[in-house]
Structure 1
Amino acid sequence: MTSKVISIVLGGGQGSRLSPLTATRSKPAVPIGGKYRLVDIPISNCLHSGISRIFVLTQFNSASLNKHIKNTYHFSTFSTAFVDILAAEQTPTSGNWFQGTADAVRQSLHHLSVHEFDYVLILSGDQLYQMDFEEMINQHVALKADISIASIPVHVNDVPGFGILKTDDENNITSFIEKPKSGFENWVSEVSDEMKAQGRIYLASMGIYIFNRQVLYDLLQGNDATDFGKEIIPASIKTHKVVSFQYEGYWTDIGTIPSFFEANLGLTDDIPEFNLFGSKPIFTRARMLPPSKISGTHLEKSIISEGCIINAKEITHSLVGIRTRIGFDTTIESCYIMGEDEYQTLTQIEASKANGTPVMGIGDRCRIKNAIIDKNCCIGNDVIINCGDKLADGDYGTYAVQDGIVVVKKRSVIPDGTVI
């Protein structure tokens, strides 16, 4: 059945809530887990589910995403599989950028029409989860649905952040409301006993949809609605058979710096909710990196990616990305260090030292806590980050602060002795 499916991964807008991580890259290209990109999550879920024809829609800062897709997803010459970027473009019928999720798909329909398919799977590019889409597709076909929406039980405190739906005994969605702020007490749905015990009794849309081909074309063509959650889905419930596929595994929407930070540090748990070590790996770019070299460092509840050179004193509850260099007597606590795109040569390192400028990586005798260090940063010796009073939110040039988390911007240079 999955051979009849084409998948569309929505790259999102400017990603301002993930700023400054999205200042120079699109949201799906944001590094996650030390060696992956956010876009690898939905693509890997598709490939493990037998769905191998995938379009990624984007319009902001797409160069790094294009490069990642090009260098990562290669298929046999004789295969019909592909992962292609569809960037916003001017055409004779449209001169506008994507105005929303539905508008992005509408403007891309002509690219889909050259393929044979019966169903369209629409995914978000900024979520962390592991899901078998084949189960959802089989239910969609078995129930003879026009549209299927993946839903997940959430707690009452989370309701205002989601589209909330109600179903009948046959999983048909009878009503839908987008991000209600109040008056949703009667929207309780039937969930498993485990979910009830956790107080997760409301069904939220995960932003994962299956449309029958003709239904999608009929809804989008000749219609100026721009958003699935706010317009297309609520209207369709009255005119089409829309069903819920209830999912109770781990899922998180990585739309803000705090949620991004929490999701990454959660990977260091003894038994993480998102399993990187299972039988279905996350696919990403294959890099020919050496093993990491660690000397004299006490490691506790941390993940170290390939190609690192680490002489730190202690690294606790942290995730260290590829090619990271950390100097002597440095302590790292509750941090996500994204790593580097390339190694500095010995000549470059000596030149930096001679000029009194920090080399790429983290220097000696630093103390860093509750921070995200974006790629290719040069942090000098004796630098202290976030080890004092809680910092006020704001943008401070080379770094920004959100909810007590310091984000050192990509390629920033932090001089010796700096205290943040």
Structure 2
Amino acid sequence: MVKKEKAIAIVLGGGKGTRLYPLTMDRSKPAVPFAGKYRLVDIPISNCINSGIRQIYILTQFNSASLHNHISNTYIFDTFSNGFVEILAAEQTYHSESWYQGTADAVRKNLKHFHDQNADYYIILSGDQLYRMDIQEMLDRHIASGAELTIAAKPISRKEATGLGIIGADEKGYIQKFYEKPANDLDISDYKIPETYMKEALNLKVGSSNEYLASMGIYIFNAKTLEEVLNNDKTDFGKEIIPDVIKTRKVATFLFNGFWEDIGTIKAFYETNLDLASINPQFNFYDETMPIYTHRRHLPATKVNFCNISCSLASEGSIITNAYIVNSIIGVRTLIESGASLDGVYCMGASFYETDEQKLENTKKGIPNIGIGKGTIIRKAIIDQNARIGDGCRIGIDDIPRQEGDFAMYSIHDGIIVINKNAVIKNGTVM
């Protein structure tokens, strides 16, 4: 019997997630709620499952409890598929007492666990990107190319190149050089995509909007190659490992021209979420052939009473009464009371319903119920899970100076107000 080549996926969960703080205050970055009902980690896992890759490791080390809970309740494979999604958190051993020092170090410290699968290829994915890709197609390209490493690459403009790693490829798509985040005034014209390669790979012409190739941080290594290039103390793939591999080994590109967004900052997270509620979103969640999977909650349909709602998404289990909602996303179990107004708001919802007894007790103590109170007006904000926003609050409305930073119950980053998880915002608060 001929052995079928085997690949496993490794999703890099990231470090402390400081750029997404305070959303990462009590959870790891892959566990941050996304698009009303999902978690960020659902994106790479769904791409793997849809591509027939069903042996998936998640590497993380910070605030792992929420992620463990989500994974264990969501990705349950039958005994005949040999599939699994397993979290590998940083651990102390007789050989190492340190935490993950970077992306490459995280993979290095878990090679002993990957050996159990006897894989031929390792697929390295990021836990904070939004895209839909057939990873099997990329794997086929990697095998056919004879390369030891294949890097997914997206055609971009010169303006976009400043914040990304830029690949210089030849006419066959093999990488000859790499430049990390070139400055605006730097001449990188010798990194432009060869016309013949663009035509062959994507059937597109090279123009000002797509003349350079950016690394997407998605890699496929031959198993032996990965172990060899990690036989050192280098800690990061993008800054150290990849540039060195390009100099000494055969490295290919896999061109991807679909939607792809790194959502590692509060601004990117906010804008990417709200775009999903637009009339023609850049990313399509309504693709039945390659769905995005998440936890089944068995919640009732959202109830809408006398509301004006436009360009918005409302997740299951919510109750919205006499509210005005535009350009917003309403997460699961969100309760919005009469007279509330939301414009440009991502409300993550709640992880449970309060009972009538709990609500009565809250009232006696002067504590708002979970959700958004009567007559409250909110603009340009992210409201984390289980937040309690009282009646008559004005958040992001008034033209008042707002100091950027992190405060007791909220943060302000890039002009976006973020209400913390479990925050209590009392009646009449102006923010």
Question: TM-score by structure 2 length?
Answer: 0.94
Q: State the 1:343 CA deviation.
A: 0.3
The residue type equivalent to 1:261 in the other structure is Y
> Which residue matches 1:363?
373
> Partners in 2 of 1:359 and 1:195 — Cα distance?
56
Checking the alignment, whether the CA contact within 8 Å between 1:330 and 1:366 is kept in structure 2 is yes
> Partners in 1 of 2:407 and 2:277 — Cα distance?
29
Are 1:313 and 2:323 counterparts? Answer: yes
> Which residue matches 2:276?
267
The residue type equivalent to 1:303 in the other structure is L
Residues 33-55 of structure 1 deviation map (CA, whole Å, 9 limit, x = unaligned) = 10000000000000000000000
> Which residue matches 2:111?
109
Q: Of the candidates 277, 294, 300, which is equivalent to residue 286 of structure 2?
A: 277
The residue type equivalent to 1:131 in the other structure is M
Are 1:72 and 2:74 counterparts? Answer: yes
Checking the alignment, whether the CA contact within 8 Å between 1:383 and 1:418 is kept in structure 2 is yes
Q: Of the candidates 33, 36, 46, which is equivalent to residue 34 of structure 1?
A: 36
What aligned pairs does 1:44-123 form with structure 2 within 5 A after superposition? 44-123=46-125
Number of aligned residue pairs: give it. 419
Q: Of the candidates 177, 180, 191, which is equivalent to residue 178 of structure 1?
A: 180
Are 1:384 and 2:394 counterparts? Answer: yes
The residue type equivalent to 1:394 in the other structure is G
Which deviates the most, 255-264 or 383-392?
383-392
Checking the alignment, whether the CA contact within 8 Å between 1:3 and 1:50 is kept in structure 2 is no
Q: State the 1:275 CA deviation.
A: 0.8
Residues 204-261 of structure 1 deviation map (CA, whole Å, 9 limit, x = unaligned) = 100000000100111112x111111111111111211101111010000011000000
> Which residue matches 1:346?
356
Are 1:404 and 2:418 counterparts? Answer: no
Residues 291-311 of structure 1 deviation map (CA, whole Å, 9 limit, x = unaligned) = 111101101000000000111
Q: State the 1:264 CA deviation.
A: 0.4
> Which residue matches 1:125?
127
Which secondary structure state, in structure 2, belongs to the residue aligned with residue 238 of structure 1?
helix
The residue type equivalent to 2:192 in the other structure is V
Q: State the 1:392 CA deviation.
A: 3.0
User: Which runs of 5 or more residues in structure 2 are unaligned?
Assistant: none
The residue type equivalent to 1:6 in the other structure is I
Residues 184-216 of structure 1 deviation map (CA, whole Å, 9 limit, x = unaligned) = 432222346867456232211000000001001
> Partners in 2 of 1:353 and 1:298 — Cα distance?
28
Checking the alignment, whether the CA contact within 8 Å between 1:195 and 1:201 is kept in structure 2 is no
Report the identity percentage. 49
Are 1:231 and 2:234 counterparts? Answer: no
> Partners in 2 of 1:132 and 1:35 — Cα distance?
23
Change (3 A) 1:67 1:2: farther
Which secondary structure state, in structure 1, belongs to the residue aligned with residue 268 of structure 2?
helix
Are 1:188 and 2:197 counterparts? Answer: no
Which secondary structure state, in structure 2, belongs to the residue aligned with residue 252 of structure 1?
strand
What aligned pairs does 1:299-310 form with structure 2 within 5 A after superposition? 299-310=309-320
> Partners in 1 of 2:304 and 2:187 — Cα distance?
53
Checking the alignment, whether the CA contact within 8 Å between 1:401 and 1:407 is kept in structure 2 is yes
> Which residue matches 1:146?
148
> Partners in 2 of 1:196 and 1:258 — Cα distance?
30
> Partners in 2 of 1:337 and 1:7 — Cα distance?
32
> Partners in 2 of 1:94 and 1:354 — Cα distance?
53
Residues 299-338 of structure 1 deviation map (CA, whole Å, 9 limit, x = unaligned) = 1000000000111421001000000000001110011000
Q: Of the candidates 407, 427, 430, which is equivalent to residue 416 of structure 1?
A: 427
Change (3 A) 1:217 1:204: same
Q: State the 1:183 CA deviation.
A: 2.2
The residue type equivalent to 1:396 in the other structure is F
Change (3 A) 1:336 1:119: same
Residues 127-148 of structure 1 deviation map (CA, whole Å, 9 limit, x = unaligned) = 0000000111111011111000
Which deviates the most, 34-43 or 182-191?
182-191
> Partners in 2 of 1:5 and 1:209 — Cα distance?
12
Change (3 A) 1:241 1:264: same
Which secondary structure state, in structure 2, belongs to the residue aligned with residue 113 of structure 1?
helix
Change (3 A) 1:285 1:99: same
RMSD across aligned positions (CA): 1.5
Change (3 A) 1:363 1:194: farther
Which secondary structure state, in structure 2, belongs to the residue aligned with residue 157 of structure 1?
helix
> Partners in 1 of 2:286 and 2:94 — Cα distance?
48
User: Which runs of 5 or more residues in structure 1 are unaligned?
Assistant: none
The residue type equivalent to 1:385 in the other structure is I
> Partners in 2 of 1:19 and 1:355 — Cα distance?
30
> Partners in 2 of 1:286 and 1:198 — Cα distance?
44
Checking the alignment, whether the CA contact within 8 Å between 2:158 and 2:208 is kept in structure 1 is no
The residue type equivalent to 2:269 in the other structure is F
